[in-house]
């Protein structure tokens, strides 16, 4: 039991601190943003599973009732392999710490879900005020596309039921047909990959654990990589130059009012579209994706390894 707890703690710390810092410095995720998002999600899953398995094993070592439920039907050899009654003195503090972290994580995620629902409801109210229902006798608008009267060019996807793709008249006037297609393809790329929930998850974890490098870098990189992935979707359908010009047209009016980080990301996106970096080879992508998919299995392997070895 002690060795399992130590290995799980070591794995959790490695995934929470040095690994995300190294990945945050890497440049290959910009070349394949979808794969980069996959790796970040697998790292987060590994960290959370490490905490859950520590909590389960530690609780079983401390509380007899939990231990009886967990090992009650196990063969004597398996029980002896775990030695659940010989928990170290620091196991109680570890269990209390992980339990508090788990409870805080649930609270943060639940709060994020409530906040998202309130924000979406408020956004729909504002949208109805700006685009009221047509008078009786006139045909109601159908489909996901909604045009708003607005001087500045803009377009965004509003998730929900039903979801809407909102475009301003300023965008219709300023963009060419091809550029407008690129903007719509970009927003549909966000919607098809459900980037909204990924952004909410990363923001909730970063807000709940602001000192944990894994969650802060996960939030930063998610905001960056989802835009690059949607840019790639638009570029495949409408061309890289067209997509880059559409981005420039949509953001020209923001100027100095936008944040420095937003301007920097926009510059990176335009440069990436105009001078695309070389993509990873299929063999490299396969290796990275497979390694990332196996990472969340490590906590489970550490947890079940003594029992499997005892059965052998």
Please state, as a whole number, how many other Cβ atoms lie within 10 Å of the Cβ of residue 221: 22
**How far apart are the C-alpha atoms of 177 and 175, rounded to whole Å?**
6
- Contact (CB, 8 A) for 155 and 166: yes
Q: What is the pLDDT of residue 312?
A: 66
Query: How large a percentage of the chain has pLDDT more than 90?
Result: 61
Query: How large a percentage of the chain has pLDDT more than 70?
Result: 92
**How far apart are the C-alpha atoms of 252 and 108, rounded to whole Å?**
36
- Classified as helix, coil or strand, 156 is strand
What are φ and ψ of residue 147, in 5° steps? -105, 130
pLDDT digits (tens, 9 = 90+) for 121-166: 898 888 877 765 544 543 444 457 888 888 888 898 888 777 888 8
**How far apart are the C-alpha atoms of 176 and 127, rounded to whole Å?**
25
Counting every residue, how long is the chain?
312
Q: Is the full-model pTM beyond 0.85?
A: yes
User: Looking up tokens 């420095």, which residue turns up?
Assistant: 260
Mean per-residue pLDDT, 224-250: 95
* Burial of 187: CB neighbours in 10 Å, binned 0-12, 13-18, 19+: buried
pLDDT digits (tens, 9 = 90+) for 60-118: 888 888 878 877 777 888 778 777 666 677 888 999 999 999 999 999 999 999 999 99
Q: What is the pLDDT of residue 258?
A: 54
Q: What is the pLDDT of residue 132?
A: 54
pLDDT at 257 over 50: no
Q: What ranges in 193-212 are assigned the alpha helix state H?
A: 195-208
Find, among 310, 308, 306, 297, the residue nearest to 61 by Cα: 306
pLDDT at 256 over 80: no
Q: ∠ at Cα 265 (262, 267), nearest 5°?
A: 110
pLDDT category at 231 given cuts 50, 70, 90 is very high
């Amino acid at each position: 039991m002690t060795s399992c707890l130590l290995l799980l703690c070591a794995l959790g710390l490695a995934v929470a601190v040095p690994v995300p810092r190294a990945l945050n410095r890497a440049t290959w995720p910009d070349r394949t943003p979808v794969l980069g998002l996959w790796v970040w999600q697998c790292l987060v899953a590994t960290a959370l599973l490490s905490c859950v398995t520590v909590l389960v094993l530690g609780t079983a070592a401390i509380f007899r009732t939990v231990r009886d439920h967990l090992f009650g039907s196990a063969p004597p050899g398996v029980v002896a392999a775990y030695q659940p009654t010989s928990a170290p003195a620091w196991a109680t503090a570890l269990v209390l710490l992980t339990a508090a972290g788990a409870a805080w994580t649930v609270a943060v995620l639940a709060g994020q879900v409530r906040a998202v629902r309130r924000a979406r409801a408020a956004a729909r109210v504002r949208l109805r005020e700006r685009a009221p229902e047509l008078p009786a006798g006139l045909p109601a608008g159908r489909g996901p596309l909604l045009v708003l009267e607005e001087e500045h060019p803009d377009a965004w996807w509003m998730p929900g039921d039903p979801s809407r793709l909102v475009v301003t008249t300023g965008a219709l006037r300023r963009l060419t047909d091809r550029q407008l297609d690129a903007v719509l393809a970009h927003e549909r790329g966000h919607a098809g990959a459900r980037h909204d929930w990924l952004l909410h998850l990363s923001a909730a974890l970063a807000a709940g654990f602001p000192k944990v490098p894994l969650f802060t870098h996960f939030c930063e990189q998610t905001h960056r990589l989802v835009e690059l992935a949607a840019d790639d979707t638009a570029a495949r359908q409408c061309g890289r130059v067209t997509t880059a010009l559409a981005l420039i047209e949509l953001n020209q009016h923001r100027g100095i009012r936008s944040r420095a980080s937003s301007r920097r990301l926009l510059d990176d996106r335009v440069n990436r579209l105009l001078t695309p970096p070389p993509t990873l080879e299929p063999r490299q992508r396969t290796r990275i994706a497979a390694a990332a998919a196996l990472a969340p299995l490590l906590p489970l392997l550490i947890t079940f390894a003594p029992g499997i070895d005892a059965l052998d």
